[in-house]
Homo-oligomer: A and B are copies of this chain.
């Protein structure tokens, strides 16, 4: 039985407590949060759990084997580092840290101490995303042409990060998991509509090796009247529409594409024609992503294995976020993803 402490009982914390409570190999022994009101809620809903305003209490608690951190991004590094220093395994909310240098130091610390460091890239454990990866890696989709995602809603403004770090992080983690190729450069544009606040709308373009005819794009927005969670993946053989808000048929695979007309006879004739076939929506398991993820974390602790969403995955995502934020401050100037930094991928 692995003892879990959850630090941060805001929006996501209750889900973490519930899932680690229900996982067969763990029990939640403590919850830490700065807000007495939130701790009161936690006590009411989960009567058996110790609560505290001081996260150091959980670090000192010998019954805590692992710490799950669900606090604002700016505190991820400090809290994770402290937990690792106390010999606790760490599952930290996405993004793993506020900078590549912080992420690198966490990776090193965990490696040195032989502790599990995992980042909560939840979508990697989502049945729809897993099906998409299966379709892509099996060759079903053919050569990849584009990854296009719209992730917008009337959302909470984060106080410490811009909308890329809050929402685009999901797409970057999905792309990191689904695509073999990694972006070599990014360009981003955005605006802050609250004076002095972080950017609340952003467009991020990702460039790949020119030999790959692949482009990535993400639109994120905290100030949209409607909620949209829609991703298109175009391939040479098939195309995918992944709509996370669909109750069923979240993933649709279209047997559509283009065919070449080798000898057009005149200017009206097209070089390229349509190809339209059936559409197919694979049945997806109804497992909760967070439950799968919790069990994966517990299993890595028990077996000493490396999580799918390890520190290196967290770092790759932070690299892109960092580069995108830099680009956004320069009205979309292209920022290359540095070779030496991208070498970190192989940590």
Contacts and interface: CB of A to CB of B under 8 A. Distances in A.
Nearest to A190: B215
A13 B221 CA distance: 38
Contacts of A270: 156-157, 159
Interface stretch (A114-122, A200-208, A316-324): A200-208
A272 B201 contact: no
Interface size class of A (residues with CB under 8 A): 35 or more
A201 B146 contact: yes
27 contacts: A10-B268, A21-B45, A22-B45, A34-B266, A150-B150, A156-B270, A156-B274, A157-B258, A157-B270, A159-B264, A159-B271, A187-B187, A191-B214, A192-B213, A197-B271, A197-B272, A225-B252, A226-B232, A226-B248, A226-B254, A227-B247, A249-B279, A276-B283, A278-B283, A331-B334, A332-B332, A333-B333
Given A154-B257, A157-B258, A224-B234, 16 more contacts: A10-B268, A22-B45, A47-B48, A146-B201, A148-B219, A154-B256, A154-B276, A159-B264, A187-B332, A197-B271, A205-B332, A207-B331, A225-B232, A276-B283, A281-B281, A332-B334
Interface of A: 10, 18, 21-22, 34-35, 44-48, 72, 145-146, 148, 150, 152, 154, 156-157, 159-160, 185, 187, 189-194, 197, 201, 203, 205, 207, 213-215, 217, 219, 221, 223-227, 232, 234, 236, 239-241, 245, 247-249, 252, 254-258, 260, 264, 266-268, 270-272, 274, 276-283, 331-334
